[in-house]
Structure 1
């Protein structure tokens, strides 16, 4: 099993479905759960990491899990849902993205001059 976080899983409760697949989505917030998306971690009876998941209603979740969409549609709706979900997690502080830190000035690529015989700095 990949990374498991009860906070990420519980954050799905009451959310809007991030997949919102036209003609499939029930838009019923009471059925929204954290839907794990395919990844290198996922295998038979193994779920992806909890951060590789999106909020999904029961109808969209079933459509994705049972591959009822074309590969292209599945990829599109999964990526869009993942992005929407991660934005919510960042906004709520469940995922923290460090702010830009000051970067030390790079050292000069020029080596200091040294005396050829003694090796002392000139």
Structure 2
């Protein structure tokens, strides 16, 4: 694992869940990890760390298919996941974990 990947993954500790699935999110920062969520490979498949989101254990279980059926459509889940990824990327920028070349 690269130093950058390690720093991104470690940055999840104590963060708020950025996916926030309604009726599912446990809002517990102690359960938050950096979960891979997309990047063209589809949810539940591994991809690079920039395509990830700070995710609580309850939301993570849903996006990885470990929680069984839920009362949200796949489209709704996908929207929340990708919006969470965008919020997480903004936090990466704010924390200087990722920089944009100018």
Whose radius of gyration is greater, 1 or 2? 1
Greater helix fraction, Structure 1 or Structure 2? 2
Distance 1:94 1:87 in 2: 10
- 1:105 is aligned to none
Kept in 2, the 8 Å contact 1:41–1:49? The answer is no
Higher relative contact order, chain-length normalized (CA < 8 Å, sep 6+): 2
* Residues 30-49 of structure 1: pairs in structure 2 closer than 5 A: 30-40=30-40, 47-49=46-48
Where does structure 2 lack aligned partners over 5 or more consecutive residues?
none
User: Does the 8 Å CA contact 2:14/2:32 hold for their aligned counterparts?
Assistant: yes
TM-score using structure 2 length: 0.82
SS at match of 1:5: helix
Which runs of 4 or more aligned residues in structure 1 lie more than 4 Å from their structure 2 counterparts after TM superposition?
Answer: none
Preserved contact between residue 55 and residue 81 of structure 1 (Cα < 8 Å): yes
Aligned residues: 95
Say what the alpha-carbon RMSD is for the aligned residues: 2.2
Deviates more, 1:68-77 or 1:7-16: 68-77
Q: TM-score, normalised by structure 1?
A: 0.69
